[in-house]
Amino acid sequence: MIIAIDGPAGSGKSTIAREVAKRLGMRYLDTGAMYRTATLLALEAGLVPDRIPETAALAAEAPIRFVERPDDLTRVFLGDREVTDEIRGPLVSQHVSAVSADPAVRAVFTERQRSEAALGDVVLEGSDTGTVVFPGAELKVYLVASVEERARRRQSQLEAQGILQPLDRLVADIGARDAYD
């Protein structure tokens, strides 16, 4: 069975998808983390903002691994290197929309998500999982929340990592990302 949970940034996709997966004993796949990891690689390789189309080749080879932790955020690794916090930081957040808009990058991750799902029951979360990746998913959920509420949640998540950001800045960032996404 495939459950696709969709919605804009900060709407609660990760929290809900993780909980649903836990309660139903299904695997959980954070597709946004894939795009975020590709963005980190692109930034480190100097491909942002002028050579974004070259990211797809890096993404195709990227050894992205997820390690589930009960009652905690899924840890994300690139090979042996943990990137969980880095991919949620402001730099990656600022550029992920542009990287994830690249059609070749999308093709790489759409394929990877379909292969993952072929292994068995899975809860996927991400902004095209119910429309493009699995339009035929048995259950599709679209979550909504106001920009202000989403900015407040992002602020607490960042605060937990020791990063302080003013709310009005996050409201502006999320509004811009909504428009771009």
The reply on whether position 155 binds ligand DC by CB under 6 A is: no
According to DSSP, the residues that pair with 125 across neighbouring strands are: 5, 30
Could you say whether residue 97 binds ligand DC (CB under 6 A)?
yes
Q: Which of 55, 84, 100, 155 binds ligand DC (CB under 6 A)?
A: 100
User: How far apart are CB 177 and ligand DC at their closest, in Å?
Assistant: 6
Site string for ligand DC, 70-89 (x = CB under 6 A): --------------------
The SS3 call for residue 137 is coil
35 interacts with ligand DC by CB under 6 A: yes
DSSP string, 76-120: EEETTEE-TTGGGSHHHHHHHHHHHT-HHHHHHHHHHHHHHHHTS
Pairwise CA distance, residues 54 & 105, whole Å? 9
Contacts to ligand DC by CB under 6 A: 9, 13, 31-32, 35-36, 96-97, 100, 126-129, 177, 181
